[in-house]
Chain A
Amino acid sequence: MTKIKLLNALLIVLIAITLLFTLTMVVLYISSPTLRAAFSNSIYAHIALCIIFFYAQLFVKQSLTYFIRHNYFNDKSTLYLQWGGYALLIFTVLAPVNGVINGDPIEIEDIFINILLLVTFLTISIGILAVADIVKNGTQIKQENDLTI
């Protein structure tokens, strides 16, 4: 339980940082005419991406909260893990698409790192979905077990 509580606390800090980053981005955009001119086409897409990432973290955090409350296996944890996995998958797919649409400059030396990051995030998001399937399996076993006297 200590590890899961620590992970929950880490996710809370991460969510707070994501929120803070999004708010700072919005405030800077509103207050600076230079930034407004530079990011006029992409600001909404960036905010949307931040919100999707925020929700992905929030869903995983909710899943952990239910893990702690209901002693690991329960339906709500499975559901939140699935939502978290899908949200992270959408974020992973949309982030490079947004970069391409906005014509972000691609440095040749960064291509390798970008591909590695993309595949890593894809693996993490599909990994979360696979874990959700396994937790679902565990929940069924637990329910069967609880029904057996």
Chain B
Amino acid sequence: MKRLGLLKTLTTILLVISGIAMFFAVPFVLVVAFLPGSVPFDINGTKAADASVESILVLAFTVIGYAFDVYALYLFKKVLELFEKKKIFHDDVIKHFDQIGKAIIIGYVVMAVPAVLYKMLVEGSVALSVDFDFDETLLTLGLGLFFMVLSEVFLIAKGLKEENDLTV
């Protein structure tokens, strides 16, 4: 439990950085979609005014997927707060861990599927990259599953603790 303080600090830093990014990302997508002429810089080498509907949709889905990640981070912070209150094998912790896992996986799917479809249908590239992209997919799915497994582990531990507490 001694690492909990450090973990909570890191999570808070990550949540603040992600929150700031989110704060700018949503208006940015709206500006790109409705007032593309007022964006003063290029996006991936193309002017915002020339951005197609498909690429704006991919951008919007990326922000939605990112929002799921921020939500997962927020839930993780809540779990750490429960740990600080010595509520370790608690119903809320189990529920939050499961939700964190689902949010990470859904967030990744929401971000990755439109991007892959865009590459396949708009850019006409169907090459599967087996470098960092593939590695990143496995890492993210692994992280999501890890939290869902943790939820199961905590559920079993909760049962054991209740049995233990009942035994005089």
Contact = CB atoms under 8 A, between A and B. Distances in A.
A133 B3 contact: yes
B141 A10 contact: yes
Interface in B18-74: 18, 21
Nearest to A148: B167
A123 B147 CA distance: 14
A87 interface: no
Interface residues of A, number: 36
Contacts of B160: 73, 138, 141-142, 145
B149 A123 contact: no
B157 to A, nearest CB: 4
Interface of B: 1-4, 6-7, 10-11, 13-14, 17-18, 21, 83, 88-89, 130, 134-135, 138-139, 141-143, 145-146, 148-150, 152-154, 156-157, 160-161, 163-164, 167
17 contacts: A3-B149, A4-B149, A6-B145, A7-B149, A17-B135, A67-B153, A115-B17, A119-B13, A119-B17, A123-B14, A124-B143, A129-B3, A130-B1, A134-B157, A138-B156, A138-B157, A141-B164
